[in-house]
Amino acid sequence: MLHTPGIMRAKKAPTADLTVLERLRTAGLRPTRQRLALAKLLFAQGHRHVTAEGLFNEAKEHRVDVSLATVYNALHDFTEKALLREISIDSSRSYFDTNVGDHYHFYFEQSGRLQDIPAERIALANLPEPPDGVVARVDVIIRVKD
């Protein structure tokens, strides 16, 4: 007996899906259909830098039915739970980075693309202490005219 497409879709998820589901649960986020689909797009392959609009379009290409508002909600929810980090590079839009570890960036102004630079590739010495408060993050952005 052949299984129907409908049943196939509901079948127990393969490893990658389970991982994503666990990630959401661990973060305290309900693994809804929308979040699971977006998380799969975001975390399936290596590290990525996406915009809300970009992820929204990617979802459409993959026949993931999700609203733009939900993409924004998910990106922010993921960021709050440290599954993503937000990067301000261009005042016109926000980027979200699936690499939440310590690292820096090349920013290619022409294309708007971001590329990771591992933390150990740059020696940042003598970082001054702020006069008040605590350092939340140190951003290094090498802007490239390409």
Partner DNA sequence: ACCTTAATTTATAATGATTCTAAACTGCTT
Partner DNA sequence: AAGCAGTTTAGAATCATTATAAATTAAGGT
Residues that bind DNA (CB under 7 A): 25, 29-35, 51-53, 65-70, 72-74, 76-77, 91-94
Q: How far is the CB of 9 from DNA (least distance, A)?
A: 12
**C-alpha closest to that of 23 among 61, 69, 77:** 77
Considering the complex, state which of residue 21 and residue 87 has its C-beta at the smaller distance from its own copies. Answer: 87
Cα separation, 4 vs 38, whole angstroms? 25
Which residues 6+ apart lie within 8 Å of 101 measured at CB? 119
**C-alpha closest to that of 64 among 72, 52, 55, 73:** 55
Cα separation, 34 vs 91, whole angstroms? 28
Which partner from the list DNA, Zn ion, its own copies, none does 34 bind, CB cut-off 5 to 8 Å by kind? Answer: DNA
- Quick one: which segment of 14-22, 33-41, 66-74, 119-127 binds its own copies (CB under 8 A)? 119-127
Binding region for its own copies (CB under 8 A): 86, 88-94, 106, 108-110, 115, 117, 121-128, 130-146
